[in-house]
Amino acid sequence: MAQKTKKITPVKRAVSKIDVKDFSIAELARELNSFNIDNYWDLGKFLVDKVMPVARKQGMFEDQVMKMISSQPGIKFPFSVLKQCQQYYSYYPDVKKRSLPEVFYFDLATKVDESKRRDQYEKFALDYKWTISDLRKKIHDDGLARRIDERTKYGFDLRERNVWAFDTPDPRFGKPNFKGRIPGQIVANALYYYTKPGDYVLDPFAGSGTTADIIESLAHFNDRKFKLYDAHPIDERIARNNILLTGIPEQSNNIDYIFLDPPTEFTQKDSSSDFEVSLDASRADFLLKFKGIIRECARVLKSGGKVSIVMEPAFAGKEFIDFPAEATQLFKELGFRQVGKVYLPKRSSESSMRIAQGIAEVKGIRALSSDCKELLTFQKP
């Protein structure tokens, strides 16, 4: 059966000599430095009982004060450690009277947000005589299980951070052999973050119908209404429309969310062409097309509506065009506010194809290639 971990002995230290009423961040930092690096509970007590009340009186938030202290020259505690100490003491001011070794409570305070769950873990650790490794493993495994539950709940691979890499497109969304099909998981995550129940969703470059497949097959998005267009529609859910010629055939102020996945030929030029000559032409061509597209988005979106666009830069020798930045500029000129930026690394099969082609050279200059698209999201004022 598991052994109890040894108690951490608190280090004896002198009582604070500074008067915290004369709130000086530099003095506080010096004072904090006199704490033993392992003595988290005492450090937390000092922060909670002495520093925070004074900070609050001066209208400062707790995190703000800790950030200021940790940015003082010579301070040995980063913000993350101060935060952990503060949580540790706040949740367990009576730690010395509790039955488990102190390290258990430090882990519970810093790794488990809900107090009910902290109490449950404490009870299990006592009843089953857990070691600290048992507790850590249990917290870790429960966290994983919760994330898997979330995914099952929504029915797709939900991402929590702003890099969405999907090596295999979800076979339920879009048509497998369609050139330029986007992994459906990207559209599903975009709908999750940028739409709400009942929203009217528009996809003017619908391709193989990925957006419709997601809305129709995932219960979480069933209540979204959608309209799809493409210059070359491939199924009955997609209406024929060339956005460059006829704009977006929708009424003004009618749409909640637009997903723009334009064809690569709108931005990427043939790398064998004379890029110096075509650089300005590429940018001019881009501006001509996208000014019109973005103006149409601004027209059909409701106020507060959002639009996401998939874009990547074009490299050529020492020159490159930062198309995501150019698109951002165009949206901002129309008063849109940027509300999201997600990196979309390309699939390894796409990257290895480029490795096999070797490093491109333009007039003897080695040229990097783009391996990552961006999903930029903007909100109409």
Ligand X SMILES: C[S@@+](CC[C@H](N)C(=O)[O-])C[C@H]1O[C@@H](n2cnc3c(N)ncnc32)[C@H](O)[C@@H]1O
The residue ranges that bind ligand X (CB under 6 A) are 174, 178, 180-182, 205, 207-208, 210, 230-232, 242-244, 261, 263
What is residue 339's three-state secondary structure?
strand
**Nearer to ligand X by C-beta: 135 or 238?**
238
Nearest in space to 259 (alpha carbons), one of 216, 303, 219, 214: 214
**Nearer to ligand X by C-beta: 36 or 246?**
246
What is residue 230's three-state secondary structure?
strand
Tokens in use for 181? Answer: 């099909």
**Nearer to ligand X by C-beta: 44 or 207?**
207
DSSP character for 341? Answer: E
Q: How far is the CB of 36 from ligand X (least distance, A)?
A: 57
Q: How far is the CB of 258 from ligand X (least distance, A)?
A: 12
Tokens in use for 326? Answer: 């150019």
Q: How far is the CB of 110 from ligand X (least distance, A)?
A: 42
Tokens in use for 344? Answer: 């979309």
**Nearer to ligand X by C-beta: 102 or 374?**
374
Q: How far is the CB of 307 from ligand X (least distance, A)?
A: 14
Q: How far is the CB of 168 from ligand X (least distance, A)?
A: 14
**Nearer to ligand X by C-beta: 306 or 373?**
373
Contact 19, 63 (CB under 8 A): no
Task: For residue 137, count other CB atoms closer than 10 A to its CB.
Answer: 12
**Nearer to ligand X by C-beta: 182 or 297?**
182
Q: How far is the CB of 347 from ligand X (least distance, A)?
A: 13
Nearest in space to 76 (alpha carbons), one of 32, 11, 27: 32
Q: How far is the CB of 42 from ligand X (least distance, A)?
A: 57
Crossing angle for the helix pair 115-127 and 132-154, nearest 10 degrees?
130
Contact 302, 256 (CB under 8 A): yes
Q: How far is the CB of 171 from ligand X (least distance, A)?
A: 13
Nearest in space to 248 (alpha carbons), one of 188, 201, 215, 286: 201
Using CA atoms, how far apart are residues 75 and 277, in angstroms rounded to an integer? 55
**CA distances for 167 relative to 170, 171, 188, angstroms:** 9, 12, 15
DSSP characters for 40-93? Answer: HHHHHHIIIIIIHHHHHHTT--HHHHHHHHHTSTT----HHHHHHHHHHHHH-T
Using CA atoms, how far apart are residues 292 and 312, in angstroms rounded to an integer? 19
**Nearer to ligand X by C-beta: 230 or 256?**
230
**Nearer to ligand X by C-beta: 93 or 233?**
233
Q: How far is the CB of 243 from ligand X (least distance, A)?
A: 4
What is residue 111's three-state secondary structure?
helix
Give residue number: closest CB to ligand X: 207
Tell me whether residue 76 is exposed, middle or buried, using C-beta atoms within 10 angstroms of its C-beta: 0 to 12, 13 to 18, 19 or more.
Answer: exposed
**Nearer to ligand X by C-beta: 122 or 230?**
230
Q: How far is the CB of 62 from ligand X (least distance, A)?
A: 45
**Nearer to ligand X by C-beta: 208 or 282?**
208
Q: Find where tokens 């796409």 sit.
A: 350
What is residue 372's three-state secondary structure?
strand
